[in-house]
Copies of this chain bind each other. A is one copy, B any other.
Amino acid sequence: MPKVCVLKEAEKIKKPYTPFPLVNVDGSHVFLGLFEGDYLKHRHPYDEFFYVTSGSIEIELDKETVPLKAGEGFLVRKKTWHKTKAKRKAIVMIFEKQGLQSEFAER
């Protein structure tokens, strides 16, 4: 198992909001995401923990918008509608159960 240099891996990601898998951890996985611009409002059947490794993002929930910068994390509980956005490129490490199932809100 080689070590994972998150910054180097992040350089490989060209397309925003496309999961880039790092490792599997007993049925959960850790992946990276390049966040840039607005993503679609969606929710998952499982919890999702976001940890920002570079840049800053916002997570828009129904009743609040949570700003996060590098070094900050936030847990979006299962079934919670959320929409992520970033004014400039940001790299986010995400922990969640394997599956990547998303239900998108109607627009």
Interface residues of A (CB under 8 A from B): 1, 3-7, 22-26, 28, 30, 46-49, 51, 53, 66, 68, 71-78, 93, 95-97
Contact = CB atoms under 8 A, between A and B. Distances in A.
Given A26-B46, A28-B25, A75-B1, A51 B6 contact: yes
A3 B68 contact: yes
Contacts of A47: 24-26
Copies of this protein in the assembly total 2
A30 B4 CA distance: 18
Contacts of A78: 26
Contacts of A46: 26
A44 to B, nearest CB: 10
